[in-house]
Amino acid sequence: MARTELEYPKQPYGTVNRYSPRASYALRTIHGIINSCPILHVSFNPPDSSFPTILPMIGQMGSFDRPSADEGQVLDLYLHGYVSSRIINTTRKTTGAADEPDGLPVCVAASHLDGLVLALTPNSHSYNYRSAVLFGHATLVEDTAEKLYAMELMTDAVVPGRWSNSRVPPNAAEMSSTGVLRVRITTGSAKIRAGPPSDDRHDLENPDVVGRVWTGVVPVHTTFGSPIPGPYNAVTDVPPYLQDTIDEWNQSGAESAMEAANPRKAAPKS
């Protein structure tokens, strides 16, 4: 039996209008882009400012009530910040207010660059990319068990296994200085471009232009380098869980970039 993919409901503020065939509203697609993005950009409107604020933050999709839920299921977004940061304080003041009973409205964006798409004319240049946007309401996590769950979730999103391979649990000072937000998602969308350049017919039929302008895709992916020991590191060898993360990240990034450049031909396994 074919699996039914859950999708976010389309809302006017979250629907992709331009190049709509590139859009996806599938939870699995959107959550995968969010969870694989090292830095999320979180937007909100502080009540004391006439300008919106955008912050780079660490975040991860998860479910405290259903820890085994995968990326294709309904999840919350957890965000990490200093306890007295502007977004934490604004959320604390906003939650339960008459005008925002569900919490602080936020918009969260994630982007991956997979390639430079070089066409015959500058107007047809593009990127291969994977992007996602989530809309929801943020509230402060007060429950200690849920806060620890979120902290472990986000730590292991940076390097899987790092939480259990570091000094845990956090002490009282660390817990009190760390703020965790839970964002209940209202809707979301993804937009993905993959493939070679595409040019207008009048340029493609011009042999002078085609003969002198290089066209194609330059694959792009982030690479983790070799670990450099810190000044007080006393562990001789790089832990296997860390080396495995580096190897898997680098291989996955290269394969994604190559697949985006030529969707019909996946990158060879190394």
**pLDDT single digits (tens) 135-165:** 999 999 999 999 999 999 999 999 999 999 9
CA dist list (Å): 261 to 204, 219, 228, 266: 20, 7, 32, 9
pTM of the model: 0.92
- Distance between CA atoms of 200 and 207, rounded to whole angstroms? 13
For the stretch 172-193, pLDDT in tens is 999 999 999 999 999 999 999 9
Rounded CA Rg of the chain: 22
Domains and CATH numbers, the chain: 20-261 (2.30.110.10)
Quick check: 65 and 50 in contact, CB under 8 A? Answer: no
Quick check: 63 and 74 in contact, CB under 8 A? Answer: yes
